[in-house]
Structure 1
Amino acid sequence: MRKILIIDDNKYMKIALSMLLEESGFHPVTADDGRTALIIIKTDKPSLVFLDKKLPDYDGISLLKEIKNFDPQLPVIVLTAYTERSYEEQAITNGAYAFVTKPFNNDQLLGIINKALATDTTFDE
């Protein structure tokens, strides 16, 4: 079972995404902040990461850069409720696999996850 890390300080988003992932055969792991997420990435080695734009201790781009410095091949999907084209471009430029706006379509999100886990090429949503 592939481990997927959800980095989000919103309890309800973590619950909803965890349920979707479990129903789809994945093992979700969650972190409320960037510091905890980095520890999990280094110790648990997830197959994929969901990263929220705003966290209590990091902005999404800064944490994305740290994740990519540690593991350049780890697919990171940025999730955000904010639709800013410049932020999306910045995320993709800094190594995000995809940028998805909340609320998301479950089937579409699962398609992105499966593509990310099957290939190393970038898929821009």
Structure 2
Amino acid sequence: MSSIRLTTRMKEEIARNALIKSGVFTELEEVTKLKNQLALDARVIAFGGKKKTEEVDQLASKLMAASEELQKLGCSFYSCDVSSCSIYLTVSGRRVGWHSYGKDGNGEDILLPTPDKDKCMFDAEHK
């Protein structure tokens, strides 16, 4: 009787297939979506509501348009802190860390104007 030796690649394939069948990857995708929504919601709260967030977004788009116009005219203008792909959250004094806004339909990071870290500190009772 001969034995078949499992290569590392075969072991990895078996483990990956087991994870797919168990639904781990599906659950991870759901958790990622929830974390992205948390980041978007925290951004709105940190700015002071939907209306304020819309104002910030409009001002940021005007700034970006002005920046592009200046560059077309040959002016070197760079505004590095207009948009970010994530927000840094602190809840009840605990640093939760950076949370991404997610990806758009093309798989690119969503870039949004982001509040300062000191505006992203929430208490545990925050809704």
The normalised TM-score by structure 1 is 0.23
The answer to which structure has the higher helix fraction is 2
The answer to which structure has the higher strand fraction is 1
The normalised TM-score by structure 2 is 0.23
User: Looking at CA atoms only, which structure, 1 or 2, has the larger radius of gyration?
Assistant: 2
Structure number with greater CO (CA < 8 Å, separation at least 6) is: 2
